[in-house]
Structure 1
Amino acid sequence: MDILHSITKTISALPAGEKWEITAQNLWLSRADFQSISVYLCRESEKGHFSITHTADLSIPIGNTSLWVTKH
């Protein structure tokens, strides 16, 4: 997937401590595609190079369409 390559390249270019918000709207993705990418990024974050924080939207508790990446 080209979008995964683009996201991982952007994350690797972030300076340590930098945060980046990823949204389905900015990536022009459906909610389902964004959820798949979110799962992938959560698994990748287990390696310790970055962490993921889901943005809580109380009006939409399931199917979040944004997350924050923090580079370590």
Structure 2
Amino acid sequence: MSSDTDISISSYNEDQGSKIIQRSREAPFVPVGMAVVAYGLYRLKNRGNTKMSIHLIHIHVAAQGFVVTAMTL
């Protein structure tokens, strides 16, 4: 076998952690967005006496603010 095949096969054997780190370097807003979504889901579960519609409006406004800030930067 040629050494080119060995190099291409070894490049596919990356672990999951290095892929996540590489992708976060390419697009730094993706992990931040995932964290915001995770926080929103957490707050949805523990929203207390707040109505669902009010909670979703707050999440929507927060997401819009994040997008505007990301586009401005």
Smaller-chain TM-score range?
Answer: 0.3 to 0.5
Please, what TM-score do these two structures have when normalized by structure 2?
Answer: 0.33
Q: Which has the higher strand share?
A: 1
